[in-house]
Amino acid sequence: MSMNRHLILLGAACWLLFIFNVPATTFYVDVNSTNPTPPYADWSTAAMDIQSAVDAATNGDLVLVTNGIYAAGGRELNNIPPTNRVTVTKAITLMSVNGSSVTVIKGYKMPGTNPNGASAIRCVYLTNGAVLAGFTLTNGASYSNPAGGLYNLGGAVFCQSTNIMLPISAAVASNCIIVGNSSAFDQVAYGGRLDNCVLAFNSGGAYDCILNNCTVVSNSASSLGSGIHFCTASNCIVYYNTAPSNPNAWASTLAYCCITPAYAGPGNITNEPAFVDLVNGDYHLSSNSPCINAGNNAYVSSTNDLDGNPRIVGGTVDIGAYEYQTPSSVLSYAWAQQYGLPTDGTADYTDSDGDGMSNYAEWKAGTNPTNAASVLALQSPATTNTTGITVTWQSVSGVTYYLQGSANLPAFTSVKSNLVGQAGSTSYTDTTATNGGPYFYRVGVQ
C-alpha cells in the first residue's frame, strides 16, 4: 500500500493529511465452488456465478473467472429486457484465468423460429471503461423489445457508456470468441472495441464497433452487413458471411483487411484467407495464407494473439485473430503471391527485376518487383532563391514517406515526415534551403 503526504491549511490550524492509494481488489469466480461466500476474496470462497462477484466489485477491481460454463445468474439493465447473463455497470476488468477455449459465458436463445423473445438472455453488457478478456460468448440473444432503442441489439455483447444509448469505444472485449448468438436486428456485438476476437456462426455480426485483429466469418443476416456494419476495422478477416446484400461489410472503414469484394482502404486484400479448417471452425492461418505478414503494425493493440502466442512474428503482423508462428518469409504473403514470388524466403532479398532494389525493399516502397521502371527514385530538384528547393520523387499512393536533407555529409537531418505519397510522383519544397548550399537529399518509406 503506497502513501502520499499532503500539507493543507484549514483556518488557523495546520493538518497533515495522509492519502492512502489502495490497490485494486480481486474477486474470484468458480462455477464448481463449494463454499461461495461474499465477498468472494479467494478461491476457497469463490462465487459460483459471475454476476455475484461483479456486484461485489467497485471501479478499478478485477473479477477473475476460472474454467467452466457460466449459464446462471445475471439481471436486466434498468429493469428493461433482455436479461444479461453478466451486467457490468462499473469500470472493472472481467478476465478468465485460462482463456476463451475453457471459459464460457452462455446466454439463452428461445427455441423455435424466434430466438429473440421475452425470455432471451444476452451474454454480457459492458459500461464505459469496463474490460472483458478471455471468454467464449455463446447462445446469447437480444429481445425484440417493443420499447425499441438499442436494447434490441447486441445479442452477445452490448457496450455502452454512462450516457444512455451512446455506444463508445471505451468498453473493451479482447481475446474473446463470440459464436452462436442472435440479435433482433442482426447485430450480436454492439458498440465498443474488439481486439483479437473471433465472431462466427452468429445471426448478425459487429455493429458500430472498432475491431483490431479480429476474424469475422460465417455469420448471417436477414438484410445486410452480417459481418461488420458501421464499424472501423483494421488487420481483420471479414469473409464468408451471408446476407441478401453486402454480406461482409456495410458503411464501414477498413484498413489492411482481408475481405471480398474489394473494399476501399489501404492494404485491403481480396484473397481467400486460407484457414486451417473453415468447415470445422479452425480459423488459424495455413502456411500459405495471404494474411501472413499482410497487416499493419500501427494497428496492433496487444502483444499476444487469441491463443496467447506472440502477436508479431516475422516483423509484420498477420491479418486476423491468430498469428502464424513460423513464417518462412518476411514479405507480405499476399503481396508476394500477387507478383508470383515464392513465400519460402528465398526471394526476400533478391532483385527480381534488376532495378537495384530487393523484393523486400520493393514491398516496403509499394513498387512493382517485376518492373525495372517501378522504383523509389529522386528526380532532379527545382531551385529558386526565394522559396527554397523543391524535391520530387517517384512514388505510389498509399505509402507514407519521409524526406531528409544535409548541408554537411554524411550527417542527415529530418526535413519532413508523414508525406502521403501520390500516384506517379510526390513533391516537397524545403523552404529553409535559400542560400548557396550545397544541399543533399534522400527519401525513405516510413
Per-residue cell: 224: 445486410
Which residues make Cβ contacts (< 8 Å) with residue 300, sequence separation at least 6?
212, 213, 235, 311, 312, 317
263-307 residue pLDDT tens: 999 999 999 999 999 999 999 999 999 999 999 999 998 999 999
Distance CA 293, CA 329 (A): 8
Which residues make Cβ contacts (< 8 Å) with residue 277, sequence separation at least 6?
none
The residue whose grid cell reads 519521409 is 402
| CA atoms lying within 13 Å on the CB side of residue 210 | 12
Distance CA 322, CA 196 (A): 8
Report whether 92 contacts 126 (CB < 8 A). Answer: no
CA nearest to 133, candidates 85, 86, 177, 76: 177
Distance CA 62, CA 58 (A): 9
Q: Listing from the earlier edge strand, what are the strands of the sheet with 258-259? A: 68-70, 103-106, 136-138, 177-179, 198-200, 215-217, 237-239, 258-259
Which residues make Cβ contacts (< 8 Å) with residue 108, sequence separation at least 6?
71, 85, 119, 120, 121, 139, 140, 141
- How many residues are present in the chain? 446
Distance CA 30, CA 399 (A): 50
CA nearest to 27, candidates 4, 3, 8, 43: 43
The residue whose grid cell reads 516502397 is 365
CA nearest to 122, candidates 103, 102, 108: 108
111 exposure class (CB count in 10 Å sphere: 0-12, 13-18, 19+): exposed
User: At 182, is the secondary structure helix, strand, or coil?
Assistant: strand
The pLDDT value given to residue 147: 66
CA nearest to 165, candidates 75, 58, 78: 78
Domain chopping of the chain, boundaries: 2-212, 382-445
378-389 residue pLDDT tens: 998 888 767 899
Strand 198-200 with 258-259, pairing: unpaired
Q: What is the pLDDT along the chain (446 residues), one digit of tens a residue?
A: 333 322 222 233 333 333 344 558 999 999 999 999 999 999 999 999 999 999 999 999 999 999 999 999 999 988 888 899 999 999 999 999 999 999 999 999 988 778 888 889 999 999 989 999 999 999 999 988 766 666 678 999 999 744 333 333 346 899 999 999 998 788 899 998 999 999 999 999 999 999 999 999 999 999 888 999 999 999 999 999 999 999 999 999 999 999 999 999 999 999 999 999 999 999 999 999 999 999 999 999 899 999 999 999 999 999 999 999 999 999 999 999 999 999 999 999 999 999 999 999 999 999 999 999 999 999 988 887 678 999 999 999 989 999 999 999 999 999 999 999 999 999 999 999 988 789 999 999 99
Instruction: Please tell me whether the peptide bond between 261 and the residue prior to it is cis, using omega within 30 degrees of 0.
Output: yes
For 356, the enclosing helix (H) or strand (E) is none
The pLDDT value given to residue 387: 85
CA nearest to 335, candidates 301, 367, 375, 376: 367
